[in-house]
């Protein structure tokens, strides 16, 4: 077991992960049934431990500097069926059941809705629900996100 700075004890399996210089690891959410890639977000040791314990995706919000439970605002939780670690031990794969059918804050099923065609990014997947209906009128998050995912 590993002890964190706030004296909580983390399980040994977290030591097998090659965390980046900020103590984070990229996590890919994949639909457990279809195999579709839904999104990418960041996890720290605490969020990954909570994900394993709760069987619901918990990420680390870099923009807010705190834990982010997927679906806490939208209701689009990710129930975790499996957690996998890649061969280089530096990427997590979550096989999930995506509640509400949408993983992206833009109201799409997947955050990977743009396809490179003729040297330009084209939106190829439909908006399933207007983000203002999901998050309310104060929702001002742009389609252009940085870092692969936009926090809810």
Domain that includes residue 43, residue range: 2-101
Q: Global pTM?
A: 0.84
Query: How far apart are alpha carbons 10 and 76 in whole angstroms?
Result: 28
Are 87 and 105 spatial neighbours (Cβ–Cβ below 8 Å)? no
Render pLDDT for 70-124 as a digit per residue (tens, 0 to 9): 998 889 999 999 999 999 999 999 999 999 999 999 999 999 999 999 999 999 9
Whether residue 28 lies inside any domain: the answer is: yes
Whether residue 72 lies inside any domain: the answer is: yes
Number of domains in the chain: 1
Whether residue 147 lies inside any domain: the answer is: no
Are 21 and 90 spatial neighbours (Cβ–Cβ below 8 Å)? no
Total Cβ atoms within 10 A of residue 44? 21
Whether residue 109 lies inside any domain: the answer is: no
33: CATH? 3.10.20.810
Whether residue 44 lies inside any domain: the answer is: yes
């Amino acid at each position: 077991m590993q002890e964190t700075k706030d004296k909580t004890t983390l399980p040994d399996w977290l030591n097998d992960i090659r965390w980046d210089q900020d103590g984070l690891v990229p996590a890919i959410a994949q639909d457990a049934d279809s195999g579709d890639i839904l999104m990418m977000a960041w996890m720290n040791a605490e969020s990954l431990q909570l994900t394993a314990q709760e069987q619901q995706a918990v990420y680390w919000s870099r923009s807010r500097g705190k834990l982010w439970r997927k679906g806490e605002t939208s209701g689009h939780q990710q129930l975790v069926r499996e957690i996998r670690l890649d061969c280089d031990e530096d990427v997590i794969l979550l096989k999930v059941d995506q509640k509400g059918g949408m993983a992206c804050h833009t109201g799409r099923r997947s955050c990977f809705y743009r396809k490179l065609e003729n040297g330009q990014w084209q939106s190829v997947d439909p908006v399933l629900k207007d983000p203002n209906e999901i998050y309310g009128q104060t929702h001002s998050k742009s389609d252009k996100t940085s870092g692969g995912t936009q926090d809810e």
